[in-house]
Chain A
Amino acid sequence: MSKVLIKQTAAITALGNNLEETWQNLCAGKSALAPIKRFAAGKLEGLEAGCVDLLDSSSENKVLLLLEQLVVQLKPLPENTFLIWTGIKGGVEQIENSAAGKKILPPQHACEYRQWLNHKLGLSSQGMDINAACASSTVGISIAADMIAQGEADNVIVIGADWVSRFTFSGFAALRALSTTKCRPFDMNRDGLALGDAAAAVHLVSEKEAEKNNVTPMAKVEGWGIANDANHITGPARDGCGLTAAIHSALTQAALKPDDIVSFCAHGTGTVFNDAMELSALENSFGSRRFPLFSVKGALGHTLGAAGALETALSVNVLNNRITPPTFGLGRPEKRAEGRVSASPQNVGDGSILTTNSGFGGINAALIIGGIS
């Protein structure tokens, strides 16, 4: 099996026009969340979102606007690079425009966004689209890593993008999943999530490809796991069984012991049930051991199909800077999160980082990212 190396990462978020700016602002304790102005939301049970200003000042296709900003950050890719597209709800812009009597702005289907990206990046491979709800790009990176490990491909890029649409905001509001105050992951008084705009990319290469092109990798993907909790379509299993299984699968593949994990980039949406489920899975997998846990969703919002790629990219920065960003919004941690989560940056020791995402349909996905010695 080939090693799976991370060659490059990129992102655009409400906190920065690129990954470095996003990282610096996160570490400085800034948040992009603000009351939503993009559409009338006064009667919806939700308040804030992390919006990229550019999307509000243009009438162009929102996801393509994000992707335009993302692709210019990427170094050239080999023509045979396999593209995995993980945006999940970009196409609802057509539904919104149609209902408002506005011009329809394609693309509509997932495959059309992938085709646009293939053209823009000069790729000849057909690629594939993955939808695993909020775990889409985590699953996408898992598939990409598997393709490289099994020798199916030498270059795979995973790209996800989603935006705060009226469709999605009203839906999460109807489910009463949005915070009506402030998104506070792992806080004892947390009351829901906030949504965010983002696009993110993670480019994986085989060891052979890295050696051939004299590439210095940023990090490596050591293990991955995907599991369903068979509990409910929109609610996680309280005991964290699905996420525990995904973490176990990733640890087994990485041939690592639980003690080798030194930091955890959690899904951390700020909903009561998600964060409690993650703490259960953490305890199931690592016992009572305390090590730095963080969530970026109190600062960036939940970026849906981009979340896993964005958080993987940030996890690479955690490994290479030996520090986690603060968990913005945290006031008083929930009891089981005490000694794990912090409103300040936390130092990280030698070892690997675990990053996970969970989504509707009972899907849980885990990645273990290791540094390059």
Chain B
Amino acid sequence: MNINVTGGGFVTISGWGKLGDKVSLHEQNGTVSLPEPKLIFPEIPKRWGRFDNFTRMGCTAAALALQDASYHKNSMTCGMVISTLYDTIITDRDYYQTTLEDEGAMSSPNLFSYTLPVIVLGESCVSFDLRGPTFCVGDHPETVGMDALKSAVRMIRSEKSDRMLAGVVENPPADLNGCPMAFFIVLEKSVITSENQVFTLKADGNNFEFKKNKIGSILDFFNKD
């Protein structure tokens, strides 16, 4: 099956960009730099000030990918799948700290709301009115984002959605080795709105080929430095 790749977006420690931009993953330590939300969202998300870093990174990379794909709301159903290994562990720890005083009476409802990786999906869906299938999958360090890619392709193949965002979001704590980053690509069954060059993803079972290269990680869609 051939599927169109109409856009991509990423945020890393070294910077942010879209599908054709250079990505550097050499920096492993530090904080991820993000563009101003007003530059990439139709409206700044209402809860942006409350977002944890995991959600900010994920929503920003998803917004960059949708912008790259010239996305606007139309009749196509759009869903979203995220791979993550480290999940929301930093927010989980931050939330639990708020439960320790006064037998939990001061527990933070806002932090608790962000202790699930699906919140990136929810916030992105609210911002862009995405109403297709949405869920998160666990990630494998050796095949970053591939379960998300396979799941997104499966949703298109089985006609559950016309368009899918597939990506990876990681915000690991300092005590676990890992690199903070978020990457998304936009997959479309048939192209409606893209103003950019569209590439084809060949999906044959669990084998994927993009620009004549085998895809072993979602990072392989990007122009790595």
B225 at the binding interface (Cβ < 8 Å): no
B125 at the binding interface (Cβ < 8 Å): yes
B21 smallest CB distance to A (angstroms) = 28
In this complex, which of B89, B116, B119, B128 has the most chain A Cβ atoms within 10 angstroms of its Cβ?
B116
Measured in the bound complex, the distance between the Cα atoms of B92 and A152 in whole Å is 35
Per-residue contact bits, chain A 145-180, to B (CB 8 Å; 1 contact, 0 not): 011011010000000000000110011111110000
In this complex, which of A132, A149, A231, A359 has the most chain B Cβ atoms within 10 angstroms of its Cβ?
A132
Option from B79, B85, B93, B115 in Cβ contact (under 8 Å) with A111: B85
* Contacts of B93-129 to chain A: CB distance below 8 A: 93, 95-97, 99-100, 102-105, 107-109, 112-113, 115-123, 125-126, 128-129
Measured in the bound complex, the distance between the Cα atoms of B99 and A172 in whole Å is 12
- Please choose the segment from B64-72, B154-162, B190-198 that sits at the chain A interface, where 4 or more of its residues have CB less than 8 A away: B154-162
Q: Interface SS of chain A: helix, strand, loop or mixed?
A: mixed
Option from B113, B118, B132, B158 in Cβ contact (under 8 Å) with A132: B118
Residues of B within 8 A of A41 (CB): 103-104
* Contacts of A116-154 to chain B: CB distance below 8 A: 126, 128-133, 135-136, 139, 143, 146-147, 149-150, 152
Measured in the bound complex, the distance between the Cα atoms of B112 and A44 in whole Å is 14
Q: Contacts A43-B104, A139-B135, A245-B131; is A175 near B109 (CB within 8 Å)?
A: yes
Q: Contacts A111-B85, A174-B112, A360-B113; is A166 near B104 (CB within 8 Å)?
A: yes
Q: For the complex, count residues of B whose C-beta is within 8 A of A.
A: 54
B87 smallest CB distance to A (angstroms) = 7
Check if B138 sits within 8 Å of A110, measured CB to CB: yes
B140 at the binding interface (Cβ < 8 Å): yes
Interface size class of A (residues with CB under 8 A): 35 or more
Check if A228 sits within 8 Å of B99, measured CB to CB: no
A363 at the binding interface (Cβ < 8 Å): yes
B134 at the binding interface (Cβ < 8 Å): yes
Residues of A within 8 A of B47 (CB): 233
- Please choose the segment from A9-17, A88-96, A276-284, A285-293 that sits at the chain B interface, where 4 or more of its residues have CB less than 8 A away: A88-96
A361 at the binding interface (Cβ < 8 Å): yes
A166 smallest CB distance to B (angstroms) = 7
B123 smallest CB distance to A (angstroms) = 6
B137 at the binding interface (Cβ < 8 Å): yes
B195 smallest CB distance to A (angstroms) = 24
Check if B117 sits within 8 Å of A233, measured CB to CB: no
Q: A43-B103, A131-B138 are in contact. List 7 more A-B contacts (CB 8 A).
A: A110-B138, A130-B135, A131-B137, A146-B158, A173-B107, A176-B109, A360-B119
Interchain residue pairs A-B with the least CB separation, the first 7: A129-B138, A361-B118, A361-B122, A171-B112, A226-B133, A233-B122, A132-B135
- Return 23 A-B CB contacts under 8 Å, by A number: A40-B103, A43-B104, A44-B103, A85-B138, A92-B92, A95-B93, A99-B100, A109-B86, A126-B140, A128-B147, A130-B135, A130-B136, A131-B116, A132-B134, A136-B135, A146-B160, A175-B113, A226-B132, A228-B80, A228-B122, A228-B125, A249-B160, A360-B118
Chain A residues at the B interface, C-beta cutoff of 8 Å = 40-44, 85, 88-89, 91-92, 95-96, 99, 109-111, 114, 126, 128-133, 135-136, 139, 143, 146-147, 149-150, 152, 166-167, 170-176, 225-234, 241-242, 245, 249, 359-363
Chain B residues at the A interface, C-beta cutoff of 8 Å = 47, 79-80, 85-87, 89, 92-93, 95-97, 99-100, 102-105, 107-109, 112-113, 115-123, 125-126, 128-140, 147, 151, 154, 157-158, 160, 205
